[in-house]
Amino acid sequence: MCLQADRFWAELCGLLGRDDLAADPRFADTAQRYDNRHACIAELDATFATRNLAEWQTALADFNGVWSTAATFDEIRRSEQVAANGYLPEVIGHDGRPFQLVAPPYQFDEQPTRPRGPAPEAGQHNEEVLLDCGLSWEEIGACREQGALG
């Protein structure tokens, strides 16, 4: 995956040792690469198959485009960058055991947001919500007796 593909296509092709792809009119821009995606993907697949991941990471280390490989969840969990940026904060579950959640992808006042804990259990806030909606304790009790509340 490469963001701003048109901007970095020629550089990428050069780093791949495939300047011919940058000169190929079928792959001249994003629209052409999309129209000819099967051929483009076949060329890229064949090229990437010539080296292993570590070799490609070295070859692309100086690439100016933003790029990344696909990763499994375990690879993401072991990532130094993920740890350093706090992308998987630990929270304590209702059972008292810790687990990791994905941090929200936004910040306020340049501060990352953090999950405060697990999601509420099913029905945990029923009474509060119903009271806020104007029901009395008697009406809530009647709803519970009728099986409408857990």
2: left (phi over 0), alpha (psi -120 to 50) or beta: beta
Q: Which two tokens stand for residue 10?
A: 């020629």
Residue 16, Cβ density class (10 Å: 0-12 exposed, 13-18 middle, ≥19 buried): buried
Is 141's pLDDT higher than 90?
yes
Tell me which of 36 and 123 has the higher pLDDT: 36
pTM above 0.85, yes or no: no
Nearest Cα neighbor of 14 from 59, 49, 66, 45 is: 59
Cα-to-chain-centroid distance, residue 85: 14
Span 104-138, pLDDT tens digits:
888 888 887 878 777 888 888 999 999 999 999 99
Q: State mean pLDDT over 47-65.
A: 95
91/113 Cα distance (integer angstroms): 13
